Amino acid sequence: MRNPMIRPARRLSMPITALCVLSLLIGPTLGLAAERTVPYRVQRGDNLYTLAARYLGGVADWPVLAKLNKVADPTRLPPDSIIQLPVSKLRGVAQTAKVVYVRGTVTVLDNKRQLRVLAVDGVVAEGDTLRVGPASFASLKLHDGSEVQVPANTEFRVQRMREVNEANLGQSVFKLNDGRLDFSVTPQRDGSRFEVQTPLAVTGVRGTHFGVAMSSQRRVALTDVVEGHVALASQGNHEAMLAAGEGAVVLRAGAAPSVHPLLPAPDLATIPNPVERLPLLLSISPVPGAVAYRVQIATDREFDQVLFNDDAAALPPTITQLQDGDYFLRVRALDENGLFGMESVQPLRVKTLPAPPLAQSPEQDQAVRLGRVRLLCTDLPDARGYQLQVARNGDFSSLLTSSTSHTATCEFGVDAAEEGEYFWRVATLMPNALGEMERGPFSDISRFRAVPAPSTPEPVFDSNNGLQAHWLAEPNTRFLVQVASEQTFADIKYTVEIAEPRVSLDLPATCGAYYLRLQSINSYGLRSAFSPARRIHGNAAVCTSDGPVRLGNGQSVTSSTR
């Protein structure tokens, strides 16, 4: 069953209207149009030899003039008579293309087989062969204002680049051997010729935005049209007319082009702008039918100065190195045939400096007491201040507070009066090149949880035994029990952490008293204040002026053991 999305090309048995349109677009290369001519008024002393030498390829072309004008004697031309000059044979004036951008390695092989490295503001002439190496890129501006963008791993030859003043038309012919060429062609004058030739097909245009690719390994030629129309002709008299949003594939010599709709432009709405952190993962929504993506980043909207180009990007594409500045992002989906889809373009601002501080306190996910919370972050050299944002949600769509500190110390206070999670981030303030205060990107998001502080336990002692106590407790709470020999707790004799709200102490006999205090520790690790010191009494020791009397085993002698 035929795929309804593929429109096979027809042989050249078309209505005369379509034939004329194709002839205008592709011109004499395909032999589709009658020879176009321009009139010349004969001057005294003219003959076919001098006219052929002056306007055509050379004296040897005089028979062309003789046949076209039915002149029997090439040396006798009546003054003021009209001679028709064939446009296809007019010599014209050779033009050059200006190099507006080069990245990486781009070389030129001229007609004299001399190799040179291409540089910005250099020129490319008729007969030059350009080779753009891996991870490289070049952009050319033609004499008529048209632009050619040449990505990596491309080789092509400038076959013809001329201005034919006698006929007020231009001629630009490129032969693509391998790789890809992207064109933005200015509207061409009637009769002008703008062609891209590959070993498998010829693409002719009058003014449009399109691309042509040729894979020498796969032996496939591809044409895609973003704006305008192009005419495509392959070997064997096969043709196709392509409109914007269409592409054609020629799989082998003599094969008819198959026409396909281009994939839609990718959605770039979720890509952050400005970009405040690298590497950047481009969050592009997948395009149905796409096998890869072309991602380009340029400094100009025309994409002449491409800094980043990846024609086989998987989702999500990753951008690792870009200096702060303003750029343009262009993304196209690539289908299984190798055709690039429609393009999405949007501005892209990279703003990664000044660097943000690092959060220090509270630590990530730390629990803090309800109330005033002290936020600390690292100080940055030369910083003129810091900006804080605090929110109750992680996307900061609704700010709880936003404050600015114009000090060198990165420290803030925030009121966390309600229980729950709080999110905060900080940015550095620093003057830019104009002396204006500018905010850098925000730091990674930090989070803390505000919770009620645990209550201080109040011990209740059993009446029968002063060394046993219990107290009221909240769920999921632990307790620290400390016993000291004096009220300041400078000399702690006993400390233990327990899970139950009760304690039974077995303390050595003493000549004085003991003091006990308690502390609650909740599930977040927060501690209450210590309870007031409570005096407790254990067994009374037999004491002298030197302290307790002890037995040979070191135990104190109590009144019950005398």
What tens digit of pLDDT does each residue of 407-430 get? Answer: 999 999 999 999 999 999 999 999
Residue 416 CA to residue 379 CA, distance in Å, equals 24
Whether 484 has a pLDDT exceeding 70, the answer reads yes
Whether 176 has a pLDDT exceeding 60, the answer reads yes
Residues 6+ apart with CB under 8 A from 531: 456, 457, 458, 459, 517, 518, 519
pTM of the model: 0.75
pLDDT score recorded for residue 449: 97
Is the domain of 142 the same as that of 61? Answer: no
Is the domain of 15 the same as that of 149? Answer: no
Is the domain of 83 the same as that of 105? Answer: no
The stretch 478-495 carries a mean pLDDT of 95
- Residue at 556 is within a domain: no
Residue 95 CA to residue 160 CA, distance in Å, equals 9
The stretch 163-175 carries a mean pLDDT of 94
Is the domain of 145 the same as that of 26? Answer: no
pLDDT digits (tens, 9 = 90+) for 373-391: 999 999 999 999 999 999 9
Is the domain of 128 the same as that of 251? Answer: yes
Residue 86 CA to residue 62 CA, distance in Å, equals 11
Show the CA angle centred on residue 370, arms to residues 367 and 372, nearest 5°: 105
Is the domain of 117 the same as that of 72? Answer: no
pLDDT score recorded for residue 313: 82
Contact between 57 and 34 (Cβ < 8 Å): no
Is the domain of 405 the same as that of 363? Answer: yes
Residue 138 lies in domain? 93-261
Whether 295 has a pLDDT exceeding 80, the answer reads yes
Q: How confident is the model at residue 3 (pLDDT cuts 50, 70, 90)?
A: very low
Is the domain of 127 the same as that of 208? Answer: yes
CATH number at residue 291: 2.60.40
Contact between 308 and 265 (Cβ < 8 Å): no
**In sequence order, what are the beta bridge partners of 331?**
295, 344
- Residue at 554 is within a domain: no
Query: Whole-number mean pLDDT of the chain?
Result: 90
Sheet of 411-416: strand order equals 359-361, 371-377, 411-416
pLDDT digits (tens, 9 = 90+) for 198-239: 999 999 998 999 999 999 888 999 999 999 999 999 988 899
pLDDT score recorded for residue 333: 97
Whether 108 has a pLDDT exceeding 50, the answer reads yes
The stretch 296-315 carries a mean pLDDT of 93
**In sequence order, what are the beta bridge partners of 481?**
496, 518
pLDDT score recorded for residue 6: 36
Is the domain of 210 the same as that of 344? Answer: no
Q: Which of 49, 66, 89 is the last residue of a domain?
A: 89
Q: Which of 409, 429, 451 is the last residue of a domain?
A: 451
pLDDT score recorded for residue 345: 97
pLDDT score recorded for residue 19: 33
- Residue at 333 is within a domain: yes
Whether 545 has a pLDDT exceeding 50, the answer reads yes
pLDDT score recorded for residue 237: 85
Q: How confident is the model at residue 541 (pLDDT cuts 50, 70, 90)?
A: low
